[in-house]
Chain A
Amino acid sequence: MPEPVEAPRLLPPATRFILQCGKDARDAAGRGFGLALPEAACRAESAGGRAALWLGPDERLLLAPAGLEDVLAGELEAALGGLPHSLVDVSHRQAALAVAGPAARELLSHGCPLDLDDAVFPVGMCTRTVLGRAEVVLWRSRPEEYHLETGRSFASYVLGWLREAEQGG
């Protein structure tokens, strides 16, 4: 197996929100966020350091650089106005990891039961799934890079698991 270009690694802290709402509120929130929130299942949109990930029909994960909790909450709540929604700060709930390199897909296949073939899991696809015994959000952010989000207390397990998988060729 070719070595991954980079070892699996933890990514720095980020600002994260879970937005749950209907279509109208989503459109409004997208305007506030500066990035249209994806309508298609299992798709992520990203630009300018921000990303919006489809997690469920009503649920989006919004990502932005660390420290923007108050700013972003203000912008989004303002954009959402009176539309029914739930916006919850989960910046600290999760930790992010990156798995990158030509062997990244194969590495993930050690513990992720999904078909990660290009035709099935193209760039820009994201979904909740499992890796080993942990739940993760798996987002193929680039052709050879996967962005993983997992519960804060699962991060060391996921990292250890990925490192073991690297050894397991």
Chain B
Amino acid sequence: MSAFRTASGGRVDRARRLRFTFDGRAWEGLAGDTLASALLANGVHLVGRSFKYHRPRGILTAGAEEPNALVTVRRDAARETPNLKATQVELYDGLVAESQNRWPSLGFDVGRVNDLLSPLFPAGFYYKTFMWPRSAWARLYEPVIRRAAGLGRAPEAPDPDRYAQRHAHCDVLVVGAGPAGIAAARAAADAGACVILCDEQSEPGGALLDGAPAQIDGLAAGDWLARAVAALAADPKVRMLARTTAFGYFPHNHLGLVERCTDHIAAPAADSVRERLWQVRAREVVLAAGAIEQPLVFPGNDRPGVMLAGAARSYLKRYGVRAGTRAVLVTATDAAYQAALDLHAAGVAIAAIADLRPAAAGVWVEAARRAGIEVLAGAAIGGTRGGRRVSGVTISGRTIACDLVLMSGGYAPSVHLFSQSRGRLTWSDSMRCFVPSQSAERERSAGACRGVYGLAAALADGAAAGLAAARACGFTGIERGYAVAGESATHQAPGATPPAVADRGKAFVDFQNDVTIRDLVLAAQEGFRSIEHVKRYTTVGMATDQGKTSNLNALGLVAARLGKPVPDVGHTTFRMPYTPVTFGALAGAARGELFDPVRTTPMHEVAVARGAVFEDVGQWKRARYFPRAGEDMHAAVARECLAVRNACGVFDASTLGKIAVVGPDAAEFLNRLYVNDFAGLGVGRCRYGVLLREDGFVYDDGVIARLAADRFHVTTTTGGAARVLAMMEDYRQTEWPGLAVWLTSTTEQWAVIAVQGPLARRVIEPLAAGIDLAPSALPHMAVAHGRIAGAPAMLFRVSFTGELGYEINVPAARGVAVWEAVCAAGRAHGITPYGTETMHVLRAEKGYIIVGQETDGTAVPDDVGLAWAIGRKKPDFVGKRSIERAGIRRAGRKQLVGLRTRDPKIVLEEGAQLADRPGIPAPMKPVGHVTSSYASAVLGHSIALAMIAGGRARIGQTLFVRVPGGDVEAKVTIPVFYDPEGARLHA
């Protein structure tokens, strides 16, 4: 065992030795170690290079606030986690860790040159330097800066681990299982509340894990802790979550917790859950998040071997590790003396205690002196010496040799979650830190996170908070106290002192982002007054540690510089997450096939079997085309188009939105909504309906059939199904609650099989029972009920192709059988399945618009040639007043027209811009744009639809379509290319 490991004590298991490697070198640690404690036990202090200057960095803290010791832990090529804090990585046998941000090695890092060049990198350096040319950002500046100023790298292989999520509800959520949290959970549970107690560490106990000399209720603190934890664990009303960080506090007591399930295990079982995201909704929340020791700011305060005093004490008492052999304590508070005394007792030479307070005195100073430690009151700290490890510290002009510098600027309450909950903070002059004042949520803070320090006080505060929380939930509990003995009366920790101002050397305020005093001073000099601006300019507090060890010092410094009291400068916003959260935890099961629901139609498998190529339309998979051997999309679509034009095609239209509008006032309801006249639509007839928003712009379209006097079958676009129903419900419930009409989505009830083409009737006729297909009985835009291939069916005679067409609606589960029956019946007629791409070509040949393709949310009906649909006699409908506004009636609006390229083979790009003469240099103001463009097999040339300013008046003119390398000449035409008389529809 190494010289730095104590012979006994702490919570490590000396019988269980664990092997691990750091940067390829093998070391040994103990069960119970963190990577940081194991490295320190081996005398390793240099663990990383800093972000900007690549300075050697060591271990500053013993917890989640660590800004320096970021490492990558690697299990295999896909399991490589960067930017973990060595202070939180639990050691397991075989752990492989690597330092970051160094090249070629940690000991010799080329990037170190940045430190020597640091006068070139003041605050705002990037903003000032990398300004021009703008194009250089993407190509040069950003890639180079990112490579040089990096954190660890993410693995490139897909994450093979499983992540789970849970919703949980409780009466009282207690965040933090230190003495205050445990007392709070106990009190709430005793009162009858259902409790969740979470803590980010591997075991509950908080500060008690660092060993407290006190007794609680007659037991040694450690024994009391073990009993208290066991009792909570055995309580069915209490759920205890270890290794679980409450990272976000969202409105209405909704908190995000992430539980790390396997990262501490040497060989996790295959398929086990790596992390679990808990979404907790708590009636009451008790925050018992503790406090974070703050560094002092002096030159060279970032050298490996410079450590927070409380952290050194934690390494000693919890992990049995002496962080050095000869230490100097630099402190501005009493609180750090305990660390020096404990280290002294464990055999670490304390060369001196440099107390920055001019009149350092009291029991702690006396205790130190009694122990034979030199206490220098009113000391001034000049800086540290050393290379990759501190070798000395200059106090009041005198250099003291040491290999460990302990520092303490006092404690800052961990108010992150409280502040995230929008609670109001107040500045405490006596403690020189922010403490919670007014809660915004049903929440209360307890213990050190609200500035209540000391074991007895924390237990009492926690118990009171837990009981109050339970009472707020309606439980009645009785107060109980804890008898604490042996706690030193003055063991309270005042907050951070103002930082020392250093004139020489680098005195770091933000270790992770490499922000020094000088950067802050410069920001103040350059006129930054708001702390939020200073933060963005200098990047102080913006690293992944969220400024846990830097914000308070930065604030004190800026306030001093501006000559303002700290509360007048204010504080920056505390944002979630408290510590970084993996994407895996946030995604949970939502990956791969479960990323989003994949919706398929009733006939999907048939299309798969026919070799269809699918496209995503929202969540739907739709068959795009059905290629035969050797066919590309172009060939397949051309063949499918010709089949529909010349014989018959079959198409799966099941994704069309469908809404049953039923009730005595159904016709009146649709009449008020749609532009068309629906009052006059006869039973058994269909009408193409256009739906506007109240602002007059086209929102959706579809065929609407009247099935009975009080029953309509409304179809919508595939993408519009949900929003049209929502809009209808809005008007029904809000504007016209007096109408007796109800809406039911039937999209998924029906399989819709479109049979289109001149031979469509011949295909369907033998399958139909109880339906007369004669044109006189079932003309275009009519609907009939009966049976098709034995299935109960609604048969619509409608067409989106311009051909004689039918849409067979049968209950979804009958879809496959009917589809196959149609195909069998159509075989003799050359029936051909076609997909959405063919459907798009066919409808474009006819000039039928697609809402969202020809329209863009700014088109009124007349713009897209749909003015004919408007019921002229209707006094009102949704959007009517808007399309009568003067601005909408103005000439020169974009109108739907057709385009024919001079070269019939050129298929224009959709979205291409149009100009009225060639060769206009960019940027030009286009006269319009192409909305749809295809090669038309039946016509033998390309076709396009376009929206063009004053387009209908330009028919016959030539326009120029901007394409890469020039302009394409195209003639403006009417937007109907095929069968403009519509004779085929009515066949």
Contact = CB atoms under 8 A, between A and B. Distances in A.
Asked whether any CB of A lies within 8 Å of a CB of B in the complex, the reply is yes
A160 B593 contact: yes
Interface in A40-79: 58-59
Contacts of A84: 663-664, 740
Contact of B660 (A58, A86, A156, A161): A86
A12 B194 CA distance: 39
B271 A115 contact: no
Given A110-B589, A160-B593, A92 B599 contact: no
B284 to A, nearest CB: 15
Interface in A128-169: 132-134, 151-154, 156-157, 160-161, 164-165, 167-169
Interface in B237-288: 271, 273, 276, 279, 281
29 contacts: A58-B742, A85-B742, A86-B662, A88-B744, A90-B746, A92-B748, A92-B811, A94-B748, A110-B164, A113-B279, A113-B281, A114-B167, A115-B281, A117-B169, A120-B169, A132-B590, A133-B590, A133-B596, A133-B597, A151-B599, A153-B600, A157-B594, A157-B597, A157-B598, A164-B594, A167-B162, A167-B271, A168-B164, A168-B589
A127 interface: no
B660 A88 contact: yes
Interface of B: 162-169, 271, 273, 276, 279, 281, 588-590, 593-594, 596-602, 619-620, 660, 662-664, 740-750, 811-813
Contact of A13 (B597, B663, B813): B813
B749 A93 contact: yes
A151 B655 CA distance: 13
Contacts of B744: 18, 20, 86, 88, 90
B165 A110 contact: yes
B742 A154 contact: no
Given A133-B596, A154-B597, A167-B271, A161 B167 contact: no
Contacts of B281: 113, 115
B169 A115 contact: yes
Given A90-B744, A93-B748, A168 B594 contact: no
Contacts, number: 112
A85 B590 contact: no
A93 B746 contact: yes
Interface of A: 13, 18, 20-21, 58-59, 84-94, 109-115, 117, 120, 132-134, 151-154, 156-157, 160-161, 164-165, 167-169
B589 A88 contact: no
Contact of B746 (A58, A85, A88, A160): A88
B169 A153 contact: no
Contact of B273 (A89, A94, A168): A168
A132 B594 contact: yes
Nearest to B813: A92
Contact of B812 (A59, A85, A93, A161): A93
A131 to B, nearest CB: 11
Given A93-B747, A93-B749, A169 B164 contact: yes
B969 to A, nearest CB: 46
A14 B588 CA distance: 33
A85 B662 CA distance: 8
Q: Which 3 A-B pairs have the closest CB atoms?
A: A168-B164, A86-B742, A86-B662
Nearest to B593: A160
A123 B662 CA distance: 33
Contacts of B273: 168-169
A164 B166 CA distance: 13
B238 to A, nearest CB: 15
Contacts of B271: 167
A115 B168 CA distance: 7
Contacts of A91: 749, 811
Contact of B167 (A90, A113, A134, A169): A113
Contacts of A88: 660, 662, 744, 746
Given A167-B162, A168-B162, A90 B168 contact: no
A164 B602 CA distance: 24
Nearest to A113: B167
Nearest to A16: B749
A160 B742 contact: no
Given A115-B281, A133-B590, 17 more contacts: A18-B744, A20-B742, A84-B740, A86-B660, A91-B749, A92-B748, A94-B748, A110-B167, A113-B167, A113-B281, A151-B748, A153-B599, A157-B594, A157-B597, A161-B594, A168-B273, A169-B164
